[in-house]
A = this chain, B = another copy of it.
Amino acid sequence: MIMICRTKQQLREALENKRKQKPGLTTGFVPTMGYLHEGHASLIRRSVAECDLTVLSIFVNPLQFGPNEDFDRYPRDEQRDLALAEASGADIAFLPTVEEMYPTKPLTSITVDVVTDRLCGASRPGHFDGVGVVVSKLFNLVQPQRAYFGMKDAQQVAVIRRMTDDLDMPIKIVPCDIVREPDGLALSSRNVYLSAEERSQALVLSQSLAKAKSIGETAGKTVQGLIDEVSNHIRESQLADIDYVELLAYPNLTPLAPNQLLLETPGELLLAVAVKFGRTRLIDNRILSFSEVTIDV
């Protein structure tokens, strides 16, 4: 049976008991905003395979939503989430209220520069500051050795990796592959918002990302050339309203010169897209490399 903790105190006591029973026990942590899908389940299963104890958190964090974003309508289904978490092997579920997490307005903010300059950091101001605070709080409450994050939020992974490195947090960040529907759509709790027509047109994201590798390998193709082709492909879907299509160095998310030749660009690159279909903003990405030259990061 999965153990349910709704307060910080309950969570601390549950963890203390487990750790007393088995000194040296390793804890894996999967922070989520709930409305779990197979992507989350894959994180839980990986933690279960690698750690003695797996803690899942479900918390829709108001700090990381902008004033015109979907905090209030973000989908929630606690019973289904707990069933899926238990079936995937999680040992403890932490489900705090907003008041439990933030009994007073936090005065402390955490900002990670450079990695937040582009992509969602640019189009959702303050978003990653809110992520930094809530992830720090959860890390301090759970004190895991390993924490599992999906690569669909590739920038979030980069931000959290940088924060844990910079602050010497004793936690290994484990990035996990994007899980997709059979037709290619990246799993997201927000997919539930999509109408049938939007759902169908949203396939253009994974399709355009899948084509990017062969497009970029064409002789003479530049950074901007690839961005333009991907953007044009997405625009063929009438309902697609592009927020960004960007190609950045990975994992530092630094910009590339637009006229740089891809075949001469060493290392891994992140091709990331954010596109609105109706009121629903979807993101997707792919890590690519075009040059044979590798670089140490």
Contact = CB atoms under 8 A, between A and B. Distances in A.
Contact of A109 (B23, B111, B140): B111
Given A108-B110, A113-B109, A163-B108, A168 B133 contact: no
Interface in A85-122: 106-115
Given A23-B23, A111-B111, A136 B167 contact: yes
Nearest to A167: B136
A213 interface: no
A169 interface: yes
A115 to B, nearest CB: 7
A162 interface: yes
B167 A137 contact: yes
A141 interface: yes
A248 B236 CA distance: 61
Interface of A: 8, 12, 20, 23-24, 106-115, 132-133, 136-137, 140-141, 143, 162-163, 166-170
The 3 residue pairs across chains A and B that have the minimum distance between CB atoms = A108-B166, A106-B166, A107-B113
